[in-house]
A and B are shown apart, each in its own frame.
Chain A
Amino acid sequence: MSEVVRTTDGAATRSARRTNWARGFYRFRQNPLSVIGLVIVALLLLLALFGEYIAPYPEHLNGEVNVANRFQPPSAEFWFGTNEVGQDIFSLVLAGARISLLSGIAVIVLATLIGTFIGVIAGYFGTWLDEILMRFTDLILTLPALILAMAIAAGLGPSIPNMILALALAWWPGFARMARGEVLSSKAELYVLAARAQGAGNTRILTRHILPNITSPIIVKMSLDVGFAILAVASLGFIGIGVRPPTPEWGVMLSISRSNLPHFWWTAIFPGLAIFLSVLSFNFMGDGLRDVFDPRARR
Chain B
Amino acid sequence: MLRYLLFRIALIAPLLIGLSMLVFVIGRVLPGDPAGLAAGPYATAEQRQAIAAEYGLDQPIPVQYWRYITGVLEGDFGRSLMTRRPVAGDLAGYLPATLELVFFSLFIAILIGIPLGLIAGIRRNSATDMTIAAGTLSAMSMPQFFLGLVLQLVFGMMLSWLPLSGRLPFIISPPPGVTGFYTIDSLIAGDFTAFRYSVLHLILPALTMALAPIATIARIMRSSTIEVLQQDYVQTERALGLPSSLILFKYVSKNAASATLTLIGLYVGWLLGSTVLVEKVFDWPGIGLYATNAILNQDFNPVIAVTLAIGVVFILANLVVDMLYGVLNPKVSNKQ
Direct contact of A and B (CB under 8 A): yes
| A contact set with B: CB distance below 8 Å | 33, 135-136, 138-140, 142-148, 150-157, 227, 231, 234-235, 238-241, 251, 254-255, 257-258, 261-262, 265, 268-269, 272-273, 275-276, 279-280, 283-284, 287, 297, 299
Q: In the complex, which of the residues A139, A147, A156, A299 contacts B307, with contact meaning CB atoms closer than 8 Å? A: A147
CA distance A262 to B307 in the complex (A): 34
Q: In the complex, which of the residues B30, B226, B306, B310 contacts A155, with contact meaning CB atoms closer than 8 Å? A: B30
Most buried by B among A151, A157, A235: A151
Chain A residues with CB under 8 Å of B223's CB are 297, 299
Residue B26 at the chain A interface, CB threshold 8 Å: yes
14 residue pairs from A and B, CB less than 8 Å apart: A143-B269, A144-B269, A154-B31, A154-B300, A157-B31, A238-B143, A238-B280, A239-B292, A241-B295, A255-B145, A257-B149, A261-B149, A268-B153, A273-B146
Most buried by A among B26, B29, B269, B280: B26
Contacts between chains A and B (CB distance < 8 A), count = 146
Min Cβ gap B31→A in Å is: 5
Stretch at the interface among B16-24, B39-47, B55-63, B172-180: B16-24
B314 and A152: CB pair below 8 A?
A: no
Min Cβ gap A81→B in Å is: 15
CA distance A227 to B139 in the complex (A): 13
| Identity of the chain A residue whose Cβ is nearest the Cβ of B230 in the assembled complex | A299
Stretch at the interface among B80-88, B185-193, B231-239, B270-278: B270-278
A155 and B27: CB pair below 8 A?
A: yes
Most buried by A among B124, B138, B140, B141: B141
A272 and B150: CB pair below 8 A?
A: yes
Q: In the complex, which of the residues B141, B143, B272 contacts A235, with contact meaning CB atoms closer than 8 Å? A: B143
Residue B132 at the chain A interface, CB threshold 8 Å: no
Please judge, given known A-B contacts A262-B153, A276-B143, whether A142 and B137 are in contact too, CB under 8 Å.
Answer: no
B145 and A254: CB pair below 8 A?
A: yes
CA distance A131 to B100 in the complex (A): 36
Q: Chain B's interface: helix, strand, loop or mixed, by majority?
A: helix
Q: In the complex, which of the residues A153, A154, A241, A280 contacts B138, with contact meaning CB atoms closer than 8 Å? A: A280
| B contact set with A: CB distance below 8 Å | 15, 18-19, 22-23, 26-27, 29-31, 124, 133-134, 137-138, 140-146, 149-150, 152-153, 157-158, 223, 226, 269-270, 272-274, 276-277, 280-281, 291-292, 295-296, 298, 300, 303, 306-307, 310-311, 314-315
A254 and B146: CB pair below 8 A?
A: yes
Min Cβ gap A159→B in Å is: 14
| Identity of the chain B residue whose Cβ is nearest the Cβ of A235 in the assembled complex | B277
Chain A residues with CB under 8 Å of B270's CB are 144
B303 and A151: CB pair below 8 A?
A: yes
B141 and A283: CB pair below 8 A?
A: yes
| Identity of the chain A residue whose Cβ is nearest the Cβ of B138 in the assembled complex | A280
Chain A residues with CB under 8 Å of B143's CB are 231, 234-235, 238, 251, 254, 272, 275-276, 279
| Identity of the chain B residue whose Cβ is nearest the Cβ of A227 in the assembled complex | B141
Min Cβ gap B137→A in Å is: 5
